Amino acid sequence: MNAAPNLLFLFSDQQRPDTLGCAGQPAVQTPHLDALAARSLCFERAYCAEPICTPSRAALLTGLWPHTTGVTVNDRPLPAAARTIAELLPAGRTCAYNGKWHLGDEIFPQHGFTHWTSVSDGYRDGYSRPEHLARMSDYHHYLLGEGFRPQHEFRGAMTFRANQSARLPLPHAKPMFQARAAARFIREQRGRPFVAYVSFIEPHRPYYSPLDHLYPPERVPVGPEFRRRPDEDVALVKRLLHEHYLRRGTLDDQDLTTDAGCRRLRSSYLGMCTLVDRAVGEILAALDDTGQRDRTVVVYTSDHGDLAGDHGIWGKNVTYEASVRVPLIIHVPGAAPRRIAAPVSHIDLVPTLLEWLGAEAPGHLPGVSRAREWTGGPAADDGDVFFEFEGEDGLPKRGPDSPFPAAWHDRIRGPWRSVVTRDGWKLNLSPTDRSELFDLNADPTEARNLLDDPAQAGRVRDLAARIRAWQRRTGDRAELPRGA
């Protein structure tokens, strides 16, 4: 590899791993990501650090666990002391950030990224200075220049909220605006090393886009868990969320109580995945046009997944595989393409990328570089993957109008800590809800909780001990159930 490679880090928001043709879903049109995958490392079981936006994004950028940075819930700013990869690299690279940030002061350059393309004015409540409210995003100004007019007042300004901008014609869709900006940056940097992070909001809700009608709803791929009520022996939070969406009745103008309505939502979700793929294609074309493909590490992933109607749930916020697993494709110049079946963690990306970029990972990072292992070296002994969730964001609201008992709200808001082993076992521990053990080999849809199976008592103790050891190593003080 070139001594000073570039890094192009592309990531979507809320994309489950089975939304790519290269992941075995030929019904979904993702030709650009499929082509990237054909010459890259493709990971079959990649896990985020926490299945919610802000904490996962902080982990992707810093290589630190959410409980380490303190960014454990949404809309919490990234502390100055939590250094991103842009701040860990030695001087000499131009570092750009393009798209959704969701880590405080949304539209302002920070944390080592000197070039900034902002796309959202929906986080104005989180600005650190009142005078910041006078500024609007780059995408806002682009839309004004194209003759569009904002329809939503927010914190003293008219803004383009997601439910307006998502319905704009394809050339003006947010991912296409981002792609053009990213392509310009890549062309401007020809011959100079760069780091570029491009963060798409799609396929996060609202579930509509210019490609809403690309996939006939009756033909969208679904599995046996689609709309299926969770069994009584799994965590209460999963059963409560299923009931919550049924009681809600509609989501983005679709009827959640019918198969047809849920299929239309899934169809729109897949259309958004294809929209992101088209934007990725334009960005990758800029790499090829400038002759920089063979000196650029390219990453494609997502901050977390989306149930997209599986188990009757929409969004993330739970420990289901569709919520915590993500796509992960990495093109490493000079490395042979290969598929990696072992579970891997987002937490190892920063130290691995630092090694590929010729920099040394600082000692405070809890993850390790997998650069040699992932490009064909011997597998490491530490094959377990961990993730966490604080159990608050995205859950049904408390209060007198809630249809659920107050005690249920208390139970579902406890923390979760989980481990997934290389041989396919998964333990989810909660001090307030029902813990779970799943055999992902025999039960990939997590329908049967084996926690109380006497034959698995030793396995539960062993996996719980691994979680506690991980907590000690990483300084995690979340309380876990006694006896497990």
Categorize the per-residue pLDDT at 393 as very low, low, confident or very high, splitting at 50, 70 and 90: confident
> Strands 344-345 and 385-389: what pairing?
unpaired
Euclidean distance between CA atoms 374 and 330, whole angstroms: 10
Mean pLDDT over each residue of the chain, to the nearest integer: 96
The correct answer on CATH 1.10.260.40 for the domain covering 6-224+252-382 is no
Euclidean distance between CA atoms 310 and 234, whole angstroms: 15
Euclidean distance between CA atoms 289 and 304, whole angstroms: 31
Lowest model confidence (mean pLDDT) among 63-72, 402-411, 414-423 = 402-411
Tell me: pLDDT of 466 over 60: yes
Cα–chain center distance at 264: 23
Categorize the per-residue pLDDT at 191 as very low, low, confident or very high, splitting at 50, 70 and 90: confident
Q: What is the pLDDT of residues 431-451, one digit of tens each?
A: 999 999 999 999 999 999 999
Q: What is the pLDDT of residues 130-163, one digit of tens each?
A: 999 999 999 999 999 999 999 999 999 999 999 8
- Residue 198 backbone phi and psi in degrees, to 5: -120, 115
Lowest model confidence (mean pLDDT) among 77-91, 236-250, 297-311, 401-415 = 401-415
Closest CA to 329 of 21, 4, 2: 21
Question: What are the residue ranges spanned by the domains of the chain?
Answer: 6-224+252-382
Contacts of 55 (CB under 8 A, 6+ apart): 49, 66, 71, 72, 73, 74, 76, 390
* CB burial of residue 364 (10 Å; 0-12, 13-18, 19+): exposed
Tokens of 99: 């798209």
Please report, for residues 295, 417, 467, 484, the alpha-carbon distance to residue 475 in angstroms, rounded to integers and kept in the order given: 38, 13, 12, 19
Of residues 25 and 394, more confidence is placed in 25
> Strands 152-154 and 254-255: what pairing?
unpaired
